[in-house]
Every structure is written in structure tokens, then in C-alpha cells.
Amino acid sequence: MAKKKIKITFAFTIISGLLIWLTLSGFEGEMQYSIGIKEVKAMGEAAFDQGLRVKGFLVPGTLQRSQNSLEVNFVIEDAGQEMAVRYAKVLPDTFKDGAEVLVVGKYQREGYFDAQILMAKCPSKYETGQEYDIKNYDPSKHIDELEGTN
Amino acid sequence: MVDIGHLMLILALTCAGYSIFVSIYGARKNREDLTRSGEHALFGVMFLVTLAVFTLWQQIFAHDFHNEYVVGYSNRAMPTFYTVASLWGGQKGSLLFWGWLLTVFAALAVYLNRHKNRELMPYVVAVLMGGAMFFIALNVFVSQPFEKLWQLEGTTQVIKAIMQPANSIPYAAPDGRGLNPLLQHPAMAIHPPILYMGFVGFSIPFAFALAALISGRLDSQWLKTIRRWTLVPWFFLGIGMILGGKWAYMELGWGGYWAWDPVENAALMPWLAATAFIHSTMIQEKKNMLKVWNMSLILLTYVLCIFGTFLTRSGVVSSVHSFARSEIGPWFVGYLVLLIFVPVLLIIKRLPQLKTTQHFDSVISRESAFLINNLIFLGALFAVFWGTIFPIVTEAIRGVKITVAEPFFNKVTIPIGLFLLLLTGVGPLVAWRKTSSNLMKKFFLKPILVSLLGLTIMLAFGIRHFYALVSLTLSIFVTSTIVAEFHRGARARMRTNQEGYFVALIRLLQRNKRRYGGYIVHFGIVVMFVGFTGKAFDTEKEAHLKPGESMQIRSYTLTYKGFKTFEDSNKVVWQAEMDVYKGGKMVKTIYPNKHYYIVQEQPTTEVVLRSTLLEDLYVVLAQPNDDKSAVFKVYINPLVNLVWLSGLIITLGTFIILLPDNPLKSKVAAQRAKIAQHEIA
């Protein structure tokens, strides 16, 4: 009985060990550092061979599409710092001026960010944390409707 | 005047508090009148929350744009079908919806147990009402779906508040902002409620487990009661994930259906824990082992449900489709701490009663196969968990957020998944206790031969992708073990009952719903894995085409004929036309679209498919140009349809398992099982 118990415990320990090793070794080479635009520029040489996640807002008017490919170039801005980004896949539908953009990829020696993944959150949509945007409405025009829903 | 809906929620909160108090007090003092009163209060809570939900729905349908939530998530132009979905389209409404589902499930559970489990029920009621109080309190104090808009007198400033502020008049917006067009898709309209039924449904087994711990009634009665209550949310969670995948595939236009996004992981984690639980309960039922383990698993499942919701709602991890950062984060942390500490303390307290007398007999036995299954499921859970919270951990420890994305998850979960696939074939066949090598040979020889034959054929066809070969070979192996099981069972019935083959197959399924329904679910999982494996053979291509030009991808030729532009009341549409040729023969004309929703100022990509069981041709109109040329992105995704199909097979299998047993027959079966157990012992 005791021998069996040892055997079983041994088998389970090996399996658990393998699983933990598999997970921990999986992290290697797959880590992306979330940093600000300012920090990217301050990193110097180290920035070029590191997976990076950078957040910023699409600067209105900077988006340049190409006629014959998916490649787009644009500038994102955060805390007064700007960074040029190049992306060559289908843009998410939420990508538009002023959108919060998260780009994942590598910073290039030529001074632009080569994005492999791009996520965009439009400023006002799925979210509710946002305050209700009333600027679009002029209440004085809708007095009749005001009374209707009283 | 406070909104009637808000008032209902306040009453519901009070009522739930009363229910908890009288239930616990009644149970302690052995006063059935009090515990019954607690149950009645629970029905009352359900009734009140239902009224609040219908109040909100009424305001949404009446376009009552005095309500801030109605403005945020609906508008006049939306079709009715999606107007219904506005209820859960935003954070506040979805929390209300969650609370509502919880009270409905709770009422159903209490009603079905009105003559059963009398010692457990007061605590079940108390735990369920505790959960309900949490969600209702969020709606009353923090995330209020009945907040109104008020205009300060003499200004154009509009603020939101529950109560009318001084010097203000009610303000109603002319129209709402509407549900995000991306969410206006049939799969998306039903995906959240189905997923929620999964998340919320686990409250019931959680409540029974906790009640068993509190009351000390730790025999297998609670486990038997929650068998169906576990399977149903498990099923909804799984189907919810598949529907979410379908939506992403059709609506987001990046050619895939799963991206290991934190929100997706939030649903996957409890599903993994619950799957482990569903398997290991069979050991407790049959052999009365693993009591602490099972208890911990079901508690973990529920904690992960809440944790997932917390991840999605609090904005602690960045995700494509998470709700915005909001103030409900700390509330969830508090609730989570409570959810972890109370059960852990109770388990420690009850440890002596949870001790098992039985032991494992052999390394190769069904118990150990089940336990390895559990270990692997938890391993997968561990990997997904670490990958998901890694940014939070690294930020806390090193001050910099480090994220791992899709490559990490694929690297880790593919081998784990394949090992699970292998177990799907081996586990059910390894007999209880020790398996003789003769039996092993008998069960496994043919499936092994068949899968080796399959492997040879795949190699001959030039398939060299390692994981794909492993996955497909294992799929053949598992399928043949399942087919063999059905065949053996049917043959046995034919001999003993003189039935025809088909009758025998059907009866087999009828008499052993759990076992053979389980096999069908397993087969669904195999089909899903084959669908996943298609990813190894996909390809994509981008092309800039002028009208009349063609592009080539694998055996397809796509000829672009040009696009038209037109407009309707809420969107502008660019519609391209393409002829699809396969092997020189024209098979279909497709119209990939791009829409631009005017009110929401948002484009949406309308993917078109030429879909067969074998592969999808997936075409995206990425960019229409002014000169009538356009950029297309085209994907070939082999076997994707099998992923959706697997959902149907799993549904069928689960449905069979859930079918009620004929009471007379199940009594006979129980007797037989008892006798059988004696014989083994």
C-alpha cells in the first residue's frame, strides 16, 4: 500500500511539475512591456529589440492610408509626446480620430513603431465610465420633448 | 420623485437582507416558520427585481431619454430585436440583468427543493440572497441604471442624478446614442445573456456547497442535488464562448475567432474549473473519495466567475471589449475576498468530516485517470490565469506592466489541450480500479491501429505540421474508442434483449444517459479540436485590385467587378462585387461590404464567406478607394465550421444527459449498482 502511494504521489508530482514548467517557460520571449511614449524614446538602444505595448491617442489628421495596400501610417500622442506608427493589417472598426489606441510591436531604428497588433477603443462607445456627453445637444431646441417625458 | 425601478431595487435589497436574517436565525433555532418566511422573501426579491428590469425595458422601448442609460444604449432607429439587448448593452444594465438572473435561478432552485434538502435550504437561501444583495447594492449605490438627466435652471448644463437636484428641470435628450453597431449582430445579442446564465448559474452549486459546509451535512446529498445545476451553467458558458467566437469571426474581420483576450479568458477559466469538477464528482459519487477536492473545485469555479467579471468590469487589464474603468472595482475586490476567505475557513473547520476512507488502488485506474484529468484541467487554468493576470502582478512587483499575448497562450495551452484530448479517449475506458492488461489490449488495439492508419494517410498526403498531426491522430483515436463503446454496448444489448442494432443503440443511450451522453459530448470536443487544428493550415493574402482584375489564393480565383455606394437612414454602404472561381469554375458571386454608421460615426466591416465544411473563404473589403480600386484581405480558414458544429454536438450530448430518468427504472438501476458495488467490494 505504501509503495503504491509513493508511486501515485510521484506520478502526480511529475505531472504537476511539467505543467508548471510548461507555463513558466512559456513566458520566455513573449513578454511585452507596457510603457509610455516618453519612455520608449528614453530607452535608447534597448527599445529596438523588446516587445512593447504603447498606448496613445490617434492625432487627428495624421492618418495616411495607402491606395494600393493596407499599410497605414499615423501618429499617436500621449502626455505631450508623439510617436509615428506603421501598421499593415486590416484596421479595427473602432479606429478613428481621437480614439485610444494600443499598439503592440517593436520600435524601429528609423524612428517609427512597427505595430503587429492594434487595438482601438473609440472614445464613447461600449463604455459607461464616460460621462454622458451633452455637448452634442442643445437643450433649448427640445423644450417640447422635455415636457413630454416629464 | 425617485424612479419606480430604483425604488423596487431598494425594496429588493431590504427584502434580501430580511431573508438572510430569518433563514439563518430560523435554521439555528429550528423554526420552520422562519425559514419558510426566508424562502418567501426570496421569491419577493425575485419579484421586485423583475419589476425593476421590466421598468428599464419599458423605458428603453418607450424611448424615455430622460433616463441616462436609455440615452447611452438605445435610440429610435434601432430594430426591436436589438432594443431588447440594450438592457445588457452597458455596464449598469448588465449588472441589473445579472442580479435578475440570479434571483430567478435562486427562486427556481428554492421552488424545486421545497420538499427536499430541508436542512440545507435555509443556508442555500442565505448564500444566494447574499450574492443578490451584492449585485442589487451595486445597482442602488454605485452603478445606477435609473439615473435621470437634469438641466440646471437658467443654464445649458445637464447633470445626471437619481433625485432631482435643486434648481433643475427634467431634461430629455432628443435621441439616444444607440447600441454600438458592432454589437448589433444576432450572435452578439444572445451571447451575453447565455454567458451570464453560465456565470450566474454557478451561484446555485456554490450555494449548496457552502450550505453543506455550514450545516455540516456533508454526505453526497448536496452533490447529487447540484448535478444538473452544474451541468446547465457549464453548458451555457461553453455555448456562450462559441457564440462569442462566432461573433468575433463574423464581425471583427480579422479572420479569427479567439484571441486570448482577458475577457475571453474570464469565461474560459471558470469553464475549466467546472469541467474538472464535473469529472471528479463522479469519483465522489461512486467511491466517496476526493470530498475536499470537489468542494474546493466548485467554490473555485464560482470565485473565478466573479473574478472574471471583476477583470472585465474594473479595467485592471486592457482588453478590446472591456467596459470602461469604473468605480465598481473595489466593491468586487471586497466581495472576492469574502468569497475566498469564508469557504476556506469553513473547509478547514470541516476537515475531519471531509476525510476519505478509501484510497487509490493503482496508478492506472479510472480514479487516477480522473485525477490526472483534473490536474491537467487545473494546469490549463493555471496557465491561463497567470497569463491573464501577469500584467497586474508585474506592475505590482516591478512597477512595469508586462503582458503576454496570443503566442504565450498558444505555446502553453496547445500541448495541454492535446494531452487532454488523449485522456478523453483513454480515461473513460480504463475500468474502475485496476485494469488488466488483457482488457486494455481488447479496448485499445483497434483504435490504435485505426489512428495509426490515419496518421500514415496524412503523412502520405504531405501533412508535416507536428501539432496538426498529433491532434488529428488523437482525434481519430478518440473517435474510434467512442464508436467502439457504442458498438460494444449495442452488441451486448442485441445478445441479451434480442433487439435490432438500431433499437439497441437507442435503448443503450436511453438507459445510460450520463455515460453515452457524455461520450457524445466528448465527440463534440473532438470535432472542436479538429476545427482548432484547421488553424495550422490557414493562409491569408492582401491585394489591391482595379475593377476587372483578379487575385489568386490557393485554388480560388477572385475577380473584382467594382463597388457601389449607397446610403440608408443610418448608414453609408460600400458594396463590392466579386466572382469566385474554384479550379476554373465559377462558384459564387460575393458582396463584401463596408458600412459607415452615421450617428455613431463608426465603420463596420461586413465579412463575406464562401463556406463549406472543409474550409471558409473569408473576404474583407478593407479599403474602397475613390478611383474604384479597392484593397481586399482574403483568408482561407480550413475546418472552422467544425468549431460551430461541435457546439451543436455538445448541445445534443448535454441535452441527453439532462433528460430526466424514468423514476422506476432509476430505482432498479440504483439497486443494481448497489449489488454491483457489493460484488466488487
ipTM attached to this prediction: 0.78
Residue A141: pLDDT band with limits 50, 70, 90? very low
Domain borders along chain A are: 1-30, 31-121
Q: Please tell me which residue of chain A has the smallest CA distance to B414.
A: A22
**Structure confidence by residue, pLDDT tens digits, B488-512:** 999 999 999 888 999 999 999 998 8
Among A4, A30, A66, most B C-beta atoms within 10 A, so best to mutate, is A30
Q: How far apart are CA B248 and CA B239, in angstroms?
A: 14
pLDDT, one tens digit per residue, over B352-410 is: 888 766 666 666 677 788 888 999 999 999 999 999 999 888 988 988 888 898 889 99
Residue A145 confidence (pLDDT): 29
Whether the per-residue pLDDT at A100 is higher than 90: the answer is: no
> How confident is the model at residue B487, as a pLDDT?
93
Task: Work out the minimum CA distance from B83 to partner chain A, whole angstroms.
Answer: 15
Q: Secondary structure of B198-253 in the HEC alphabet? A: HHHHCHHHHHHHHHHHHHCCCCCHHHHHCHHHHHHHHHHHHHHHHHHHHHHHHHCC
Beta carbons of B605 and A90 less than 8 Å apart: yes
**The domain defined by B537-641 carries CATH number 2.60.98:** yes
Segments making up each domain of chain B, as ranges: 1-146, 406-535+646-680, 537-641
Confidence band, pLDDT 50/70/90 cuts, at residue A139 = very low
Q: In the prediction, which pLDDT does B439 show?
A: 75
Of A27, A96, A145, the CB nearest to B408: A27
Cell triple for residue A105? Answer: 510591436
Per-residue confidence (pLDDT) for residue B319, from 0 to 100: 57
Buried b (16+ CB within 10 A) or exposed e, B319-331: bbbbbbebebeeb
Q: Give every CB contact of residue B103 below 8 A, 6+ residues apart in sequence.
A: B12, B42, B45, B46, B49, B50, B132
The predicted model gives B35-56 an average pLDDT of 97
> Which of B326, B391, B604 faces A128 most closely, judged by CB atoms?
B326
CB contact A143 to B (< 8 Å):
no
Summarize the confidence of residues B174-193 as an average pLDDT.
Answer: 82
Task: Give which of B226, B264, B229, B262 is closest to B243, Cα–Cα.
Answer: B264
> Looking at residue B364, what is its pLDDT?
66
Q: How far apart are the first and last CA of chain A?
A: 79
Cα nearest neighbour of A70 on chain B: B631
Q: Find out whether B152 and B29 touch, Cβ atoms under 8 Å.
A: no
Contact residues, chain A, for B324 at CB < 8 Å: 126-130
CATH number of B1-146: 1.20.120
Selected for mutation to probe chain B from A9, A146, A150 (highest B CB count within 10 Å) is: A146
Give B480's pLDDT tier (boundaries 50, 70, 90).
very high
Count of CB pairs separated by less than 8 Å, A with B: 190
Report the percentage of chain B scoring pLDDT > 70.
93
Residue of A nearest to B411 (CA): A26
Question: Which triple of cell numbers denotes residue A79?
Answer: 502626455
Q: By the 8 A CB rule, do B26 and B34 touch?
A: yes
Residue B255 scores a pLDDT above 90: no
Residues of B in Cβ contact (< 8 Å) with A7: 363
φ, ψ dihedrals at A86, nearest 5°: -120, 140
> Which residues between 64 and 83 in chain A have a beta carbon less than 8 angstroms from any beta carbon of chain B?
65, 67-70
Give pLDDT, residue A124: 42
How many residues comprise chain B? 681
Q: Is the pLDDT of residue A135 over 70?
A: no
Counting beta carbons within 10 angstroms of the beta carbon of residue B337, is it exposed (0 to 12), middle (13 to 18) or buried (19 or more)? exposed
Region B411-418 average pLDDT: 95
Q: Report CB contact under 8 Å: A20, B382.
A: yes
Region B542-559 average pLDDT: 94
Contact B301, B226 (CB under 8 A): no
**Beta-carbon contacts of residue B482 (< 8 Å; ≥ 6 apart):** B425, B519, B522, B523, B526
Confidence of residue A133 (pLDDT cuts 50, 70, 90): very low
**N-to-C CA span, chain B:** 71
Residue B501 is predicted with a pLDDT of: 92
Buried/exposed A11-33: b ≥16 CB within 10 Å, e otherwise? bbeebeebbeebbeebbeebebb
Does the beta-carbon distance from A125 to B600 stay under 8 Å? Answer: yes
pLDDT digits (tens, 9 = 90+) for B377-393: 999 999 999 999 998 88
Strand A51-58 relative to strand A64-65, pairing: unpaired
pLDDT for position A1: 55
CB within 8 Å: A139 and B372:
no
Find the CB nearest B401 among A34, A122, A137.
A34
Residue of chain A nearest B177, judged by CA positions: A125
Contact across the interface for B72 and A149, Cβ inside 8 Å: no
Which one has a higher pLDDT value, B421 or A28?
B421
Q: Which of B537-546, B547-556, B564-573 has the lowest mean pLDDT?
A: B564-573
Q: Which of A70, A91, A139 sits opposite B171 (nearest CB)?
A: A139
How far away is chain A from the Cα of B314, in angstroms, using its nearest Cα?
A: 10
Collect all residues of chain A within an 8 Å Cβ-Cβ radius of residue B405.
Answer: 30, 32, 104, 117
Closest CA to B205 of B270, B267, B288: B270
Instruction: Determine contact: A106 vs chain B, CB below 8 A.
Output: no
Output phi, psi for B628, to 5 deg: 70, 0
Of the candidates A4, A27, A34, the beta carbon closest to that of B400 is on: A34
- Higher-confidence residue: B340 or B219? B340
Cβ distance B603 to A23 less than 8 Å, yes or no, reads no
The answer to whether residue A38 neighbours chain B at the CB level (below 8 Å) is: no
Q: Are residues B171 and A94, on separate chains, in Cβ contact within 8 Å?
A: no
The answer to whether A87 and A102 are in contact (CB under 8 A) is no
Lowest mean pLDDT among A41-50, B68-77, B544-553: A41-50
| Weakest mean pLDDT among A22-26, B123-127, B293-297, B323-327 | B323-327
Of B318, B401, B605, which is closest to A93 when you measure between CB atoms?
B605
Residue B323 has pLDDT above 60, yes or no: no
Do the Cβ atoms of A67 and B629 come within 8 Å?
yes
Cell of B120: 440545507
What pLDDT is stored for residue B127 in this prediction? Answer: 97
Residue B218: the pLDDT is 87
Q: Which residues of A touch B379 (CB under 8 A)?
A: 15-16, 19-20, 22-23
What architecture is domain A31-121? Answer: Beta Barrel (2.40)
Supply the DSSP string of B333-354, one letter for each residue.
HHHHHHHHHHHHHHHHHHHHHH
Binned at pLDDT 50, 70 and 90, residue B80 comes out as confident
pLDDT at B211 exceeding the cut of 80: yes
- Please check whether residue A45 touches B, CB under 8 A: no
Q: Is the Cβ–Cβ distance between B325 and B316 less than 8 Å?
A: no
Rounded-to-integer distance, Cα B590 and Cα B194, Å? 32
| DSSP per-residue letters across B30-63 | T-HHHHHHHHHHHHHHHHHHHHHHHHHHHHHHTT
Average pLDDT, chain A: 77
Residue B624 has pLDDT above 80, yes or no: yes
Chain A hits for B603, CB-CB cut-off 8 Å, are: 93, 96
SS3 for A49-117, per residue?
HCEEEEEEEECCCCCEECCCCCCEEEEEEECCEEEEEEECCCCCCCCCCCCEEEEEEEECCCCEEEEEE
Confidence grade of residue A29 (pLDDT, cut at 50, 70, 90): confident
Which class for B536: exposed (0-12), middle (13-18), buried (19 or more C-beta within 10 A)? Answer: middle
Indicate whether A150 pLDDT > 50.
no
Q: What is the pLDDT of residues A86-95, one digit of tens each?
A: 999 888 877 8
Q: Which three cell numbers stand for residue B211?
A: 450550505
Whole-number mean pLDDT of chain B?
89
| Sign, CA torsion B422/B425/B426/B427 | positive
Q: Determine whether the interchain pair B180/A19 forms a contact, defined as Cβ–Cβ distance below 8 Å.
A: no
Query: Predicted confidence band at B236 (pLDDT cuts at 50, 70, 90)?
Result: very high
Report DSSP letters for B591-644, one per residue.
--EEEEETTTTEEEEE-EEEE-SSEEEEEEEEEE-TTS-EEEEEEEEETHHHHH
Q: Mean pLDDT, to the nearest integer, of A7-25?
A: 89
Residue B167's region, left for phi above 0, alpha for psi from -120 to 50, else beta, is left
pTM more than 0.80? yes
pLDDT at position B234 is 97
pLDDT of res. B104: 98
Does A41 contact chain B (CB < 8 Å)? no
Model confidence at B205, in pLDDT bands (50, 70, 90)? Answer: very high
pLDDT exceeds cutoff 60 at B680: no
